[in-house]
Amino acid sequence: MKRLNIFVVVAALLLGLSVQTEAQITEKPEFGKFAITGATIHTVTNGTIEGGVILIGGKEIEYVGQNAKITNEYTRIDASGKHVYPGFIDGWTALGLVEISAVPVTVDNRELGDFNPHMYAFTAFNPHSAAVPVTRVSGVTTVLSAPSSGIIAGKAAVMDLWGYSPDSMSVKKSGALVMNLPSSTGGGWWDDRSEEEIKKDYEREINKINEFFEKARFYDRMIKEYEKSPTGKIRPDHDPRMEAMREVLAGEVPVALTVSREQEILDAIEWTNSQEGMNFFLVGAEEGWRVAEEIAEAGLPVLTTTLYTPSRDYDNYQRPYQNPGLMAKAGVKVAIVSNDAENTRNAPFEAGYAAAYGLGQEEAIKALTINPAEIFGVADRIGSLEAGKQANLFISDGNPLQPMTKIEHVFIKGFKIPMDSRHSQLYEEFLDRDAVNR
Amino acid sequence: MLFQTELFMNLRETKMKKLITLIALVAFGFTAKAQEKGSVLIQNATVITITNGDLEETDVLIRDGKITEIGKDLRAPRGVETVDATGKYVMPGIIDAHSHLNGVDINEARNVVTAEVTMEESVDPNEVGIYHALAGGATTIHLMHGSANVIGGQGETLKLRYGASQEGMKFENAPRTIKFALGENPTRVHGQGNGVQPRTRMGVEQVIRNHFDEALDYKRKREAYFEAQSLYDRRGKGTPPVPVAKNLRYEVLNDIIEGDILVHCHSYRADEILMLMRVFNDYGIKNYTFQHANEAFKVAPELAKNGAHTSVFSDWWAYKFEVYYSTAYNASILNANGVINSINSDNDQLLRTLNHEAAKVVRYGNTSVNDALKMITLHPAIQLGIDDRVGSIEEGKDGDVVIWSGHPFDIYSKAEMTFVDGTKYFDLENDPDDMRIHINPGTEFEDGANFRRIVDNREENTCLQDAFILFGEQSAQAQN
């Protein structure tokens, strides 16, 4: 009896251990040299190659073309009949900053205060967010993660979705300065201010912003003067806010202006015209189609979505879908974004609608790859399939803008990442829940 | 005291109902388009029947609102318009089992149980979103009460007859439905917001059981009173019995127990889904649907065993804690386990693109295309008790069909024509910009009312519309 008990205990322990060990095994990425063969390669910047070859060595793409000598050191991936695209870039998300939007303690994209250029999304980006794997297995390999509160919300970061620290994931720590311009049009039926009050409020807010930028320019000049010849000068006090504005004023970091309505867009254009030396782009611009020529003339790129209801009740039902196409036709550089956190994976379908309603397939793919890369100033590293660029790419069984298409392999910075996530793991566990190992 | 209050409320409800109906009749009654039954012959399409496969190069004849013939080379009866649909797809109109599209009010949030209120009085037939939904291939919606209360109000099944009156939009003879809600929403609104039970999932169960028990007691007492009264009337002497006043709320609860009302229960977590099935088994309630049900996949075998249905999002998750441990493979797992599942929108935008939401069920879990199509046609029809009328293309069913430029799951496909009862309500070739029926001067220009600034990263949460007032400004913002 005693013996049996011991046997049972030992067996149970062994079983327990083996189960535990199994549960702890996490699939690791592969890294090294890969040759993807036979696929239709959508380079984005150099056309489409049928049955081409892509060589990956370490973190970079070594070769994209028709013929390459593939030595034994390369792991071959036969992708005949499949498609290869550069990893999609979702240019406007709260990924890594907002874990569960209804639980305030998990929301890290809204700092207090009106002027926060020194707040970095990079700092709060959670590499272990459950939404990161969910997103990357869908072919979205890179995101802009943006803060969103106040007038200057902070700096958005361009992040690759593989890694264990913001440092290892960041493509560009300062991807954009996020700025919410005040609205001169009132806030709808609940806004009971008179037209005059709205105008006054708007002017007061704009003046506040202009004062802030003037102060920042003064600080920048002061530091430059001091650094040129410190002798005999009093060293200026360090101001983190003003310091954070310097790379923006120098034009190294673009300013993202969040706007929606026609008048807000026109106001934004007017304001950018009053500023010198900086780069801007618009985010949202749901009514961009109404003033597409003006946006194009101002040279402002736009990040936008498609899946929302028309902004005005008297607008045609297709306007949100047509908006990117109409802006692109006028000459605006357009990027399509999800404006989401946990469902950033849906950016390709937002682009699919844009493609179907005027933007076209090729431009819609650009709106998810090279266009956002250029807008954020990282096109030398990501956004297309070219030798020398970072190996961010995916292999799909069809057009990735189609909801039924499956993404089969994803590379991020040369890492061939495991194709699992919370969603696929729950599927594996619960498809046949009561099955047991025999 | 409580009794008096309830009586007063019931009186008020009844008065309000009459008043609102009167206003509605005056406001919409005269201008409304009569409920039309149309005829059309759609020729040479790929017909997605849902119940009988896809039929190539096939015609569909609709006469006086009903599908009368499906076959090849049909001849148009005299005076019946024909549409050449060569190379195109014909599919049953999309049915959304969870919508708040044209509700005037959504939540009667001041009581834990409000079974007596109904969305019947809360239908806005002028909402331009109805047209937008038609343009996305939708023909029927289940207009639901919100999820503030454990037992909310009754729903209304509507056909999207844009231009018809409040009355004319009703899906004639559709079974009655009612909204239940479990988990975070009722415990936040009542427990956290009002300081009354339920604050927990324990409390939610007892609210349901207590109200069912009270309703059964009420029924017993009321029947005993009627019996005593009739005895007294016959005898004409003795002491008259103490009256038991009519209580509409308890009447509705008894209708639920007796199976006259289909329950659609807002729910997310597996444990609360199991709880409600346990409670319903105790009271003998069958034919119910779990709405949202993000964790339904965890209890798919139990759902299948109880014959419970589910109506879920294709891929929404993580917007609140109770959906954090969920998966976009939910629908596929449920389908593989034999649960009748539908894909719903609960959102005016998603309602415009439900075909592509259903396509994601193929992406996540390899469900067959036809099974995925069932989730926006036949399955929601079953869940609303209207599958004898709609949800598939079969002779004898209603002429609610959509002509698509390509397969409805293709991102490039557009709805070209949408028919309800054989009448064309949407035509891509004749699609003017301004399709408003009723123009509200207050929202004519720069309409901010339905304007969503995408940069705010806000999820619409119509399920809790009208209930935010209970949380105060700060937590209302947190909810976004």
A324-345 per-position pLDDT tens digit: 999 999 999 999 999 999 999 9
How would residue B221 be classed by pLDDT, with cut points 50, 70 and 90?
Answer: very high
CA distance B173 to B160: 16
CA distances to A278, B221, B252, B260, B424 from B178, in Å: 57, 25, 9, 10, 31
Residue A340, helix vs strand vs coil = strand
How would residue B465 be classed by pLDDT, with cut points 50, 70 and 90?
Answer: confident
Asked if the model's pLDDT at residue B466 lies above 90, the reply is: no
Helix axes A195-228, A240-249, angle to 10 degrees: 90
Residue B156 DSSP code: E
Asked if the model's pLDDT at residue B445 lies above 50, the reply is: no
How would residue A438 be classed by pLDDT, with cut points 50, 70 and 90?
Answer: confident
CB-based contact A181:A258 (threshold 8 Å) = yes
Residues of chain B with C-beta less than 8 angstroms from the C-beta of A96: none
Phi, psi of A214 (to 5 degrees): -65, -45
Give the residue-averaged pLDDT of B213-240. 96
Contact: B132, A261; criterion CB under 8 Å: no
As given in the structure block, the two tokens for residue A177 are 């300065």
Using a CB–CB cutoff of 8 Å, tell me whether B348 touches chain A.
yes
Task: Give the pLDDT of residue B35.
Answer: 58
**Of the candidates A346, A289, A349, A348, the residue with the CA atom closest to the CA atom of residue A320:** A289
- Could you report the per-residue pLDDT of B366-380, keeping only the tens digit for each? 999 999 999 999 999
Relative to beta strand B309-312, strand B288-292 is parallel
Q: What ranges do the domains of chain A cover?
A: 25-87+383-438, 88-380
Asked if the model's pLDDT at residue B399 lies above 60, the reply is: yes
How would residue B279 be classed by pLDDT, with cut points 50, 70 and 90?
Answer: very high
**Of the candidates A82, A19, A60, the residue with the CA atom closest to the CA atom of residue A387:** A60
The kind and range of the H/E element at B33 are: none
Q: Which of B316, B321, B411 lies closest to A356 in CB terms?
A: B411
CA distance A287 to A185: 13
Contact: A188, B447; criterion CB under 8 Å: yes
How would residue B470 be classed by pLDDT, with cut points 50, 70 and 90?
Answer: low
Q: Which of A191, A403, A423 lies closest to B359 in CB terms?
A: A403
Q: Which of A101, A308, A405 lies closest to B454 in CB terms?
A: A308
Q: Which amino acid makes up residue B233? A: D
As given in the structure block, the two tokens for residue B160 are 């999207």
Residues of chain B with C-beta less than 8 angstroms from the C-beta of A347: none
For B360, name the nearest residue in chain A, comparing CA atoms only: A403
Question: Cα distance from A103 to chain B (closest Cα, Å)?
Answer: 7
**Of the candidates A159, A165, A126, A272, the residue with the CA atom closest to the CA atom of residue A213:** A272
Task: Give the pLDDT of residue A209.
Answer: 97
**Of the candidates A387, A389, A393, the residue with the CA atom closest to the CA atom of residue A379:** A389
- Could you report the per-residue pLDDT of A86-118, keeping only the tens digit for each? 999 999 999 999 999 999 999 999 999 999 999
B2-6, B24-28, B331-335: least confidently modelled range: B2-6
CA distance A385 to B71: 50
Q: How many CB atoms are closer than 10 A to CB A326?
A: 18
Contact: B447, A311; criterion CB under 8 Å: yes
Asked if the model's pLDDT at residue B217 lies above 50, the reply is: yes
ipTM above 0.95, yes or no: no
Question: Cα distance from A279 to chain B (closest Cα, Å)?
Answer: 19
A150 phi-psi bin (left φ>0, alpha ψ -120 to 50, beta other): left
- Could you report the per-residue pLDDT of A134-165, keeping only the tens digit for each? 999 999 999 999 999 999 999 999 999 999 99
How would residue A185 be classed by pLDDT, with cut points 50, 70 and 90?
Answer: confident
CB-based contact B418:B139 (threshold 8 Å) = yes
Task: Give the pLDDT of residue B7.
Answer: 33
Give the residue-averaged pLDDT of A384-390. 98
Residues of chain B with C-beta less than 8 angstroms from the C-beta of A180: 455
CA distance B294 to B174: 27
CA distances to A158, A164, A373, B453 from A172, in Å: 5, 16, 11, 26
Q: Which of residues 81-110 of B touch A (CB under 8 A)?
A: none
Contact: B325, A422; criterion CB under 8 Å: yes
Question: Cα distance from A222 to chain B (closest Cα, Å)?
Answer: 35
CB-based contact A191:B448 (threshold 8 Å) = yes
Residue A236 DSSP code: P
Task: Report CA torsion sign: A110, A112, A116, A122.
Answer: negative
Residues of chain B with C-beta less than 8 angstroms from the C-beta of A185: 446, 448
- Could you report the per-residue pLDDT of B286-323, keeping only the tens digit for each? 999 999 999 999 999 999 999 999 999 999 999 999 99
Using a CB–CB cutoff of 8 Å, tell me whether B472 touches chain A.
no
Answer yes or no: CATH 3.20.20.140 is held by domain A88-380: yes
Residue A125, helix vs strand vs coil = coil
Question: Cα distance from B409 to chain A (closest Cα, Å)?
Answer: 8
Give the residue-averaged pLDDT of A389-415. 98
Asked if the model's pLDDT at residue B403 lies above 80, the reply is: yes
Residues of chain A with C-beta less than 8 angstroms from the C-beta of B415: none
Could you tell me the strand order of the sheet in which A88-93 lies?
A88-93, A140-145, A152-160, A170-179, A255-259, A280-284, A302-304, A334-336
Q: How many CB atoms are closer than 10 A to CB B468?
A: 20
Residues of chain B with C-beta less than 8 angstroms from the C-beta of A154: none
Asked if the model's pLDDT at residue A24 lies above 80, the reply is: no
Cis ω for the linkage preceding A147 (within 30 of 0): no
Q: E strands of A58-169, at which residues? A: 60-65, 75-78, 83-86, 88-93, 140-145, 152-160
Phi, psi of A108 (to 5 degrees): -120, 30
Residues of chain B with C-beta less than 8 angstroms from the C-beta of A426: 297, 325-327, 329
Residues of chain A with C-beta less than 8 angstroms from the C-beta of B321: 100, 102-103
Using a CB–CB cutoff of 8 Å, tell me whether B300 touches chain A.
yes
First to last CA, chain B: 39
Task: Give the pLDDT of residue B471.
Answer: 55
Residues of chain B with C-beta less than 8 angstroms from the C-beta of A138: none
Task: Give the pLDDT of residue A67.
Answer: 87
Task: Give the pLDDT of residue A195.
Answer: 86
CA distance B93 to B82: 19
Using a CB–CB cutoff of 8 Å, tell me whether B325 touches chain A.
yes
Q: Which of residues 398-437 of B touch A (CB under 8 A)?
A: 409-414, 431-436
CA distance A248 to A237: 20
For B450, name the nearest residue in chain A, comparing CA atoms only: A311
Q: Which of B301, B328, B433 lies closest to A316 in CB terms?
A: B433
* 3-state percent breakdown (helix, strand, coil) of chain B, nearest 5: 35, 20, 40
Q: How many CB atoms are closer than 10 A to CB A228?
A: 8
* 3-state percent breakdown (helix, strand, coil) of chain A, nearest 5: 35, 25, 40
Contact: A353, B411; criterion CB under 8 Å: yes
Give the residue-averaged pLDDT of A409-437. 96
Q: Give the CB-side neighbour count of residue A211, counting CA atoms within 13 A.
A: 8
How would residue B442 be classed by pLDDT, with cut points 50, 70 and 90?
Answer: low
Give the residue-averaged pLDDT of A68-87. 97
**Residue B40 bridge partners (DSSP):** B62, B81
Query: How far is Cα of residue A381 from the mean position of the Cα atoms in its chain?
Result: 15
pTM (2 d.p.): 0.91
Task: Give the pLDDT of residue B418.
Answer: 98
Asked if the model's pLDDT at residue A378 lies above 90, the reply is: yes
Residues of chain A with C-beta less than 8 angstroms from the C-beta of B434: 314-315
Task: Give the pLDDT of residue B2.
Answer: 34
Q: Which of A305, A316, A434 lies closest to B301 in CB terms?
A: A434
Q: How many CB atoms are closer than 10 A to CB B123?
A: 22
Question: Cα distance from A182 to chain B (closest Cα, Å)?
Answer: 13
Instruction: Kindly report the CATH class assigned to B94-390.
Output: alpha beta
**Residue B288 bridge partners (DSSP):** B263
Domain A25-87+383-438, CATH: 2.30.40.10
Task: Give the pLDDT of residue A333.
Answer: 98
Contact: A313, B327; criterion CB under 8 Å: no
Q: Which amino acid makes up residue B247? A: N
- Could you report the per-residue pLDDT of B129-188, keeping only the tens digit for each? 999 999 999 999 999 999 999 999 999 999 999 999 999 999 999 999 999 999 999 999
Relative to beta strand A255-259, strand A280-284 is parallel
The mean of the pLDDT values for chain A is 93
Residues of chain B with C-beta less than 8 angstroms from the C-beta of A92: 455
The kind and range of the H/E element at B311 are: strand B309-312
Fold of B32-93+392-432: Urease, subunit C; domain 1 (2.30.40)
Q: Which of B135, B363, B414 lies closest to A403 in CB terms?
A: B363
For A359, name the nearest residue in chain B, comparing CA atoms only: B412
